[in-house]
Amino acid sequence: MKQKKVIIINDNSVSLYGGRKQEIKYTLTGIPYVNHYSRRYRLDYFLSAHNMVWNAGNPWKDLGFDGFNSDSFFSGLLIKFDDNDESARVYTYIT
């Protein structure tokens, strides 16, 4: 994985990898998903960064991301939808 960029959140450095544009595809039952590094991720697995009831003060929203999915305490996925909602950019983050 090639490092995309490093950002600072609350005095902690976060490395972002990936960011390639991925087409949003659908399963036979109509469930939307994206492929990221040969893995399929359903869009309903991502938590919305815009939900201020459950995610008040979420730093991902301030950085322009639309959703996140944590694999562990230190890593996970970030998603940013394009304007047409037919594609998205998926990033891996590691703190």
Tell me the per-residue pLDDT of 60-84, one tens digit each, with 9 for 90 and over. Answer: 777 888 888 888 888 889 999 988 8
User: What pLDDT score does 32 carry?
Assistant: 93
Range of the structural domain that residue 75 is part of: 3-94
Percent of the chain with pLDDT over 90: 24
Spell out, as residue ranges, where the chain has pLDDT lower than 50: none
Work out how many domains the chain is built from and give that number: 1
User: What pLDDT score does 23 carry?
Assistant: 92
**Per-residue exposure over 40-74, b if at least 16 CB sit within 10 Å of its own CB, e if not:** ebebeebbebeeeeebeebebbeeebbbbeeeeee
User: What pLDDT score does 3 carry?
Assistant: 54
